[in-house]
Structure 1
Amino acid sequence: MNDQIETLLDAALLHVPFDGWSDEALKAAASDAGIDLATARALFPRGGVDLALAYHRRGDSQMAAKLASEDLSHLRFRDRIATAVRTRIEVAEDRELVRRGTTLFALPPYAPDGARAIWGTVDLIWTTLGDTSTDYNWYTKRATLAGVYSSTVLYWLGDDSPDAQATWNFLDRRIDGVMQFERVKGAVEKNPALRAVFAGPRAILSCIKAPVGTPKTDLPGYVTQPPRQQG
C-alpha cells in the first residue's frame, strides 16, 4: 500500500506544475503508474489535496532523516533551528510544487489542512532538536516557529538570489527577532517584581499542558484545573 502511495506521488510530481495539486494530476499519475483509478482514489480520497499533504509529509520525513544524520551539537540552539528550517525548505527542491501547494492551502476549504501541515512540520523540528517542554511553552515555541517557517517559505518562493542567500539572511533576521523576545521572557522570569505582576497569568498558563501520546492524537492538548488560592 505504501509503495503505491509513493509511486503515485512520484508520478504526480511531473503533472503538478501544469495541473496543480488536483484530481487531474491524480488521474494522470494513475495512468502513468499503471494503477487503476479506483485504487488511486482509495489511497487519495480527496484527490489533489491528499496528494499535496503526502508530498508535505515526505518533505518532513526527509528533513528529519537529514537532521538525524548530522552532528548539530557544536551549533548554538538558534543556529540549530535555522539549520532545521533551511533543511526543510531545501528538501522540497522544486519551488513550483511548493508554490502550487501554497496556492491550494490558501483556499478557505483547505486552509485548516495547510495549518495542520505547518504545525506538524514545526512540531517535528522541535521534537527532532530535543524539545522536552510539557507546559504552555510547548505551544509558544511551535506557534512562533510556525510564523518563522511560513514567512521564510513565502520569501523563498520569490527569491532569485544566488543559492537563495537572501532567503537564509531573511531567516536569520526572523530568528534573531524571536531570540530577542525570548530574552525578554527570561528577564521577566529573573525579576521578582515582574514575576509578581504576571503571577496571575502565569498561574493560568501553568494549567496548559502539551499533548500526550505517540502519535499526539489529542492535539491541541489539554488544560488542568487551575491551582486553588490559599487562604
Structure 2
Amino acid sequence: MLERVGVTLVAVAMALPGCRGRDGQQPLAPTPTTVAREQRELSASDLKLLIAVKGRALRQLEEALAASSDEGGDALAQLKDLVVVEREAAAALGADWQRYTWVKEEIARLLALQRQGEDAKLLALELERSKQDLATQLSRCRDAASRQFLQAQIDSLEHQLEVLERGQVLDPRSAAELTLIESARVQLAELQGQQDRIQRRIRALVRQARGAAEENPTVRKLRDRGQAGGVGQEERK
C-alpha cells in the first residue's frame, strides 16, 4: 500500500507546474514566438482561417500524392513539405502567415492545457483513493510511531490534492478560447485525420519506392556479383 502511495506521489510531482520542460524535456505546448500572447486573442475568424488554409494545403498534398502514385518514386521526391504547402495555401487565400502560425500554436497550447487538466483529474482520483486507504489503516493502527507516519502521508496527499485543484483552474481567457475550439472540434478532427492519412500514404509510397529500387535488375546484378565475390574470396582464404 505504501509503495502505491509513493508511486502516486511521484506521478503527481511530474504533473505539477514547473516539473516539466526541464532537463532537456519538451514543454507541454509550443510557445508563440512572433507576438506576445497578451496582444492576441483567439477568435472565430481565426478558426475559419486555420480550417481554410489547412484544408487547402491538405487537398494539394493529396493531389500531389495521387500523381506520385501514378508516376512512381521520381515524382515522390518532388513532394513538398506540409509547411511549404501551408505557406503557399495561405498566400493563395490572402491570409496572414504569421497569424496562421500563431493560431496553430495557440490551439496546440490550449489543447495541451486541456489534456494536462484531464490528467490532473485522474491523478486526483488516485490520490483520493490512496488517502482513504491510509485513513482506514490509521483508524485501525494503535502503534504511535506508525500512526504518526500514516498521518504524515495523509497530510502530504492532502497538500498534493490542493496543489492539483489550484492547477486545474484555467484563466477566463483560456477557458473561453477552449470553448471556442470545442465549437470547431469536428472540423479540426477531420483535418487531423486527413493529415494522418496523408502521412501514412507517404510512408507507404516510400516503402514501395525502396522495394522497386531493390528489384531493379542493375541493382540486383551488382548486389549478386558482390555476394558471389565475397564467397570466392572466402574460399581462396
Q: TM-score range by the shorter chain?
A: under 0.3
Which of the two has greater helix per residue? 2
Q: Which has the larger Rg?
A: 2
TM-score by length of 1: 0.27
Higher RCO structure, 1 or 2 (CA under 8 Å, sep 6+): 2
